[in-house]
Structure 1
Amino acid sequence: MPTNRAVLFTSSEKLRQTFFSWFDESASRFSVMGLGLWPEDVFELTYTDKFNEEVIAAYSRSENCVPKTIKYQFDFHSYQQSLTSKAFGHIAVYADIIGTTMTVFDGLTLRYPESFSVVAIARQQTKGQGRSGNKWLSPVGCAMFTLVVAIPMKSKLGQSLPILQHLTSVAVAHSVRSLPGLQEVNIGVKWPNDIYFGSEIKLGGVVVKSTMFKNNCIASIGCGVNICNEKPTVCVNQILKENYNKSDVLSCEQVIARTLTILEALIDDFQQNGPQGFLEMYYKYWIHSGANVKVQRDRHSSEKLNALVIGIDECGYLRVRLDDGSITTLNPDGNSFDLTKNLIIAKS
């Protein structure tokens, strides 16, 4: 049976030991490193913290650690240069090809340390996951990752968990538009979880799955955004070249690292100060200001209510004002937003 190789990147030896200590405590069986870690794929996990070397020593329980020459399609040096976070992204598992990054750490999260974060990154997915069970096309050139974090339920963010997808969407948009010369590029966020160019071209999306354990929510935050793949749809680099005459060429490594750095800062600020600072950035990037929409509360009914979009609340629910002046909120998990029809429709 062919083995798909994955590499573990950590920014320090201490983090490497932390990762394997967590894995050893959580995994129920251990043969080839990664058996039980990936339910659909068999992986041989290797380790590196040396970005410019191709020789990577394979981790083993025994002392017989045989060096191997393995080439990966991921520039760890570029990733490290763009990563300025305190914790997010400093423990990363990367694979050239994987089913989906969303399941990499399944079964290991019940012992997940509160101060711990790991990210799974893939060059290509064969079974990419979108929101509500949708499939996400995952070609080479799409920046794809799943970040796993523990959020105390009694914290400010723990009381507003649905807003995680909004925090991540904004982090992606800001990772591009905060670069020098790209501030005016019209990349924004569509409620509740998509990244758009203008109001018509979808560039990516976010999906969040969570598990409650003791006093924490273990959140798996998945993201995919088209950076340098012109097919089967439009990508960021194509937009920069054709719409803004920019020579900038962004890489998946750069965007993932910058997104993780920004997301960490947004979460830290939310935990300390609440939603206000984040909401100011959110409205800078969202594409719905003053939008007139129709709301269909029952997908089996033809009744549609006219409404004006006025914002989101501290949990990320959409706030709309109906014709009678009343304000109602719409759950992001219970509704979908069809931009082509300006229609918000209940899923069930």
Structure 2
Amino acid sequence: MNVLVYNGPGVSKTSLTHTLNTLRTLLLPNYAVQTITPKSLASDPWHTNCALFVLPGGRDLPYVSDLKSSNDKISKFVHEGGAFLGLCAGAYYACGAVEWEVGTEQEVSGARPLHFFNGIGRGCVYPGFQYESETGARTVSLLIQDPSSGFEERVEGLYYNGGGEFVDAQNVPDTVVLAKYTEGDGEGKVAGVQCRVGRGNAVLWAIHPEYPLTLEPAISAIRSIRPDLDASVEHLEERRWKLMKDSLALLGLHIPSAFDIRTIQPLPQFLVSTSDLAPTIAAMMDNLIKELVDSEPIILKDNTDTFHFYKGPYSSDLFDRIRDSQDSDIFTSDSRIRSIIVLKNGAIPPPEATRAFDLSQYFSSLAAAQSQKMGEVLLYGEVVTSTQTMLDKNSKLLSYLPIPLVSVATHQLAGRGRGSNTWLSPPGCLQFSLLLRLSLSSFPASRLVFIQYLFGLAVVEACRSSPVLGAFGDRIRLKWPNDIYAITAHSGAKKIGGILVNTSFMGGHVDIVVGPFINLKYSASSDANHHYAHIPEGCGLNVFSPSPMTSLVQLIPAGLDNTNLSMERTLAVIMATFDKMWSKFSTEASFDPFMDLYLERWLHSDQLVTLTTVDPPAAVRIVGITPDHGLLRTMPEAKGYRSFRGDEYIDLQPDGNSFDLMAGLIKAKK
């Protein structure tokens, strides 16, 4: 599910930055926190996968003009069970009316459309506000009231700049007072409310609880207005986090149970292998030492990241030292240090070092599945930014890594879906990327498009095997070109994953990064430099993902033993299944041996769809995939109809069309 933060005219960039960082820290990995523009808010079906809509601080008047076409959507979303968080100007906008600086040159007054708080938002509570300035900024003290217990607690040092009060809130229907100002001009006035709105609800704060008290501009306000609080800023900051966490809980969001703001950061990764492939890791380290400075760590500066390789052996002291040295702010820079602990001679770290992924179980499952090579070199990190970006954006690293190599993560903190969409990985999702290499002298580039089909088929066959789902796996199917679906008993076909392929051409070979993905928001993109499908980034096959997502574990009937299903075994069987297919495919450079099974496993044989890329739209029937370039082959349904080229068939490529095959529609991309 998404948490969407409005980013349009009027939004304070400082408020936006702090809002995103605070929400991502609190909600990861349960929710994807991303921005939404006025255009997308008005035209996209954002409400279908949104848990919370956030309107940050800034200026209220631009919201009035730029949200005109979105107000009805926002209101309907909340009334039908959604959640809304308004901060300062965002809270003003959610009132029934605004009375701001009345009688001054800065006056803003009038009705507002949302009426989540069906009363007046009046400000400023404290004088001195100036636009684009911290002149009127200050710290405030609030008396926080717990709605369930009635317990009251005074919280100091919170950042204020131009906020108001919720007039007579205690007498406004469907409104619960959360906090009051305690000092000066604001004493006794309401600073925070929770409002029941139809089946949903809103939490509105007149102050800025999203601003960290340890950073600018809040720290300067503390030192200017309340220097006596300077020594206790760390404690006050912990209380601010609790205030935000409690606000999100009131809105019905599920906060990760292991929440700790100090641990939401990338962790060191482990490079390990079976004993048989241990020489490949030793050779990699020899090359690194030979070509770089032999130090601790060995440092490799690449296109996107800087890699620190530690030569092991594993110790908890080494792990803690690396973790504590890593930059905790993963959202402010595209350039980061990635730390990798390299274990030689087939050694693996103890279970306590990889609590979320049992490496021993993975390698034993791989051996049982009889993989010859695929998956026997593994790079694992419990918390990483993106398995895909590391392999896809760092060409120097690829020249050293053993191939094939599988990169696995339990939690991915940042990634990109199609287009510019940003997401955070959901819980219970198997996330990995596989690095392969082919020589272009023996494998034609035009056949690379089939890799996504081959890998998708391997995932489906692995899920159907006895070590994973067995008899219950017959409901796992393929949706062209790159999705994995499950046929559920009550809801029909539901997406549980998908296939991604990125390629990099270097000299006489091509490096291929392939893996499953789930994109939380789907938007089309195309790349004029590629003649085959190019899909930017993603993650995951849903194995244990909770409802409302669909996952493998949900296909096992209630009451039956599901303890055989595991992340480790699922990945091992996928690797072994793909290993057998890859050996034949890469040797013959042909998808022909797999075509019949692929068509047996997909959802589209003889499917009738509407093709809107021709005028007038035509009914066509899907008959297969072209054997040369992997295009979707359709045949006109009407007698005597031919394509606009005069061909008997109409062949379609994914980089030129948008496919909603589950809805029976093929349309031109916009």
1:312–1:112 CA distance, 2 compared to 1 (3 A): farther
- Any gaps of 5 or more consecutive residues in structure 1? 55-68
Please tell me the root mean square deviation across aligned C-alpha atoms, in Å. 3.2
CA drift of 1:229 comes to 1.6
> Where does residue 186 of structure 1 map in the other structure?
475
Task: Indicate yes or no: 2:101 matched with 1:101.
Answer: no
SS of the counterpart of 1:241?
coil
- 1:21-40: CA deviation from partner (whole Å, max 9, x where unpaired): 46568889987467614965
Distance, in Å, in 1 between the alignment partners of 2:337 and 2:481 is: 34
- 1:303-348: CA deviation from partner (whole Å, max 9, x where unpaired): 5221100011233211111232521211123323213421122324
SS of the counterpart of 2:557?
helix
1:271–1:70 CA distance, 2 compared to 1 (3 A): closer
> Where does residue 636 of structure 2 map in the other structure?
322
Preserved contact between residue 605 and residue 623 of structure 2 (Cα < 8 Å): yes
Task: Indicate yes or no: 2:75 matched with 1:75.
Answer: no
Preserved contact between residue 128 and residue 137 of structure 1 (Cα < 8 Å): yes
Distance, in Å, in 2 between the alignment partners of 1:338 and 1:279 is: 22
- 1:174-196: CA deviation from partner (whole Å, max 9, x where unpaired): 11102263265210110000000
SS of the counterpart of 1:112?
helix
Residue among 533, 547, 555 paired with 1:239: 555
SS of the counterpart of 2:378?
strand
- 1:105-125: CA deviation from partner (whole Å, max 9, x where unpaired): 332358638982222110011
> Where does residue 266 of structure 1 map in the other structure?
581
- 1:198-248: CA deviation from partner (whole Å, max 9, x where unpaired): 262000011111111112111111322100121450110112235x95645
The one-letter code matched in structure 2 to 1:99 is T
SS of the counterpart of 1:70?
helix
- 1:91-132: CA deviation from partner (whole Å, max 9, x where unpaired): 211111111111123323586389822221100112234344
- Any gaps of 5 or more consecutive residues in structure 2? 1-261, 309-333, 517-539, 643-647
1:328–1:250 CA distance, 2 compared to 1 (3 A): same
Preserved contact between residue 151 and residue 157 of structure 1 (Cα < 8 Å): no
Preserved contact between residue 612 and residue 618 of structure 2 (Cα < 8 Å): yes
Task: Indicate yes or no: 2:285 matched with 1:20.
Answer: yes
The one-letter code matched in structure 1 to 2:430 is A
Q: Please, what TM-score do these two structures have when normalized by structure 2?
A: 0.45
Distance, in Å, in 2 between the alignment partners of 1:125 and 1:89 is: 20
Structure 2 counterparts to residues 299-314 of structure 1, below 5 A: 303-314=616-627
1:217–1:269 CA distance, 2 compared to 1 (3 A): same
Task: Indicate yes or no: 2:497 matched with 1:196.
Answer: no
> Where does residue 53 of structure 1 map in the other structure?
350
Distance, in Å, in 1 between the alignment partners of 2:578 and 2:432 is: 13
SS of the counterpart of 2:663?
coil
CA drift of 1:14 comes to 0.4
Structure 2 counterparts to residues 323-338 of structure 1, below 5 A: 323=637, 324=641, 326-338=648-660
Distance, in Å, in 1 between the alignment partners of 2:434 and 2:340 is: 18
Distance, in Å, in 2 between the alignment partners of 1:101 and 1:52 is: 20
CA drift of 1:11 comes to 1.3
Distance, in Å, in 2 between the alignment partners of 1:338 and 1:290 is: 16
Question: Bigger relative contact order, structure 1 or 2, given CA contacts below 8 A and separation 6+?
Answer: 1
Number of residues paired by the alignment?
330
Q: Give the share of equivalent positions with the same residue, in percent.
A: 25
> Where does residue 432 of structure 2 map in the other structure?
145
> Where does residue 64 of structure 1 map in the other structure?
none
Residue among 33, 36, 46 paired with 2:306: 36
1:278–1:286 CA distance, 2 compared to 1 (3 A): same
Preserved contact between residue 115 and residue 150 of structure 1 (Cα < 8 Å): no
CA drift of 1:41 comes to 4.2
Distance, in Å, in 2 between the alignment partners of 1:183 and 1:296 is: 37
CA drift of 1:135 comes to 4.4
> Where does residue 245 of structure 2 map in the other structure?
none
Distance, in Å, in 2 between the alignment partners of 1:182 and 1:22 is: 47
> Where does residue 251 of structure 1 map in the other structure?
566
1:189–1:19 CA distance, 2 compared to 1 (3 A): farther
Pick the structure with greater CA Rg. Answer: 2
1:100–1:190 CA distance, 2 compared to 1 (3 A): same
SS of the counterpart of 1:182?
helix
Residue among 541, 545, 565 paired with 1:229: 545
Preserved contact between residue 284 and residue 402 of structure 2 (Cα < 8 Å): no
Q: Please, what TM-score do these two structures have when normalized by structure 1?
A: 0.83
Task: Indicate yes or no: 2:608 matched with 1:292.
Answer: yes
More helix by share: 2
The one-letter code matched in structure 2 to 1:256 is L
Distance, in Å, in 1 between the alignment partners of 2:665 and 2:288 is: 45
